[in-house]
C-alpha cells in the first residue's frame, strides 16, 4: 500500500502540528513494515532552542517519529483509520543515535513489526538521512480507546 499523503496520515493518527512528525508514507505492508518520511525544516519549533548555533533534531523526537510511523502501520493494518483509537508507547529499548539530523533533510523512517498480540505490538525502527543511519530503536506500543472526556 502507499504512498499516503498527509491527509491519510492524519486520518490514521491523532497527532497535529507541532507534534505530527510523519509527512508521507512511501510504502506500507500491513502487519509487516512501513517506510515513511519526515521533511526536517528549519521552521521546526524545537530548533529555536536545540541548538541555536547548530540546530539538531532531538533524539527523542526521532524516536517519536518512528513511533508515529508504527502507529500508522498498526492502525492501517487493523482497519482502524478514523476510529479515534490511540497508539501508546509502552517501552523503548536499546535506542541508539548514530548521526545528527539537521534542517533541510528528508528523514526516512523504516519500521518493521516484529511481534503482534491483540492490541500490543513490538517494532524495530531505523531512521536514515540518505543512506546514513541516524537512529535505531526497538519499542512496544498498544492500541487503546481515547480517554473519556
**Catalytic choice (8, 24, 50, 126):** 50
Indicate if 50 belongs to the active site. Answer: yes
Alpha-carbon separation of residue 3 from 9, 24, 34, 80, 139 (angstroms):
10, 7, 10, 18, 24
DSSP string, 92-125: EEEEEE-S---TTEEEEEEEEEEEEETTEEEEEE
| 1 contacts 26 by C-beta, under 8 angstroms | no
Strands 120-129, 132-144: parallel, antiparallel or unpaired by DSSP? antiparallel
| Radius of gyration for the alpha carbons in the chain, expressed in angstroms and rounded | 15
Angle at 63 between CA 32 and CA 143, to 5 degrees: 55
The residue with cell 526516512 is: 108
Distance of CA 134 to the CA centre of its chain: 14
Query: Which residues are the active-site residues?
Result: 50
Amino acid at each position: 500500500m502507499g504512498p499516503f499523503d498527509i491527509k491519510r496520515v492524519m486520518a490514521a493518527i491523532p497527532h497535529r502540528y507541532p507534534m505530527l512528525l510523519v509527512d508521507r508514507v512511501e510504502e506500507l505492508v500491513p502487519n509487516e513494515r512501513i517506510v515513511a518520511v519526515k521533511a526536517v525544516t528549519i521552521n521546526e519549533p524545537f530548533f529555536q532552542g536545540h541548538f541555536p548555533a547548530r540546530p539538531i533534531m532531538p533524539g527523542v523526537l526521532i524516536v517519536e517519529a518512528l513511533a508515529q510511523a508504527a502507529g500508522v502501520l498498526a492502525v492501517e493494518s487493523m482497519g482502524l483509520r478514523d476510529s479515534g483509537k490511540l497508539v501508546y508507547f509502552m517501552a523503548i529499548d536499546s535506542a541508539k543515535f548514530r548521526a545528527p539530523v539537521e534542517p533541510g533533510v528528508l528523514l526516512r523512517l523504516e519500521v518493521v513489526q516484529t511481534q503482534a498480540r491483540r492490541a500490543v505490538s513490538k517494532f524495530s525502527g531505523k531512521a536514515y538521512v540518505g543512506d546514513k543511519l541516524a537512529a535505531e530503536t526497538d519499542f512496544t506500543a498498544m492500541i487503546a480507546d481515547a480517554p473519556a472526556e
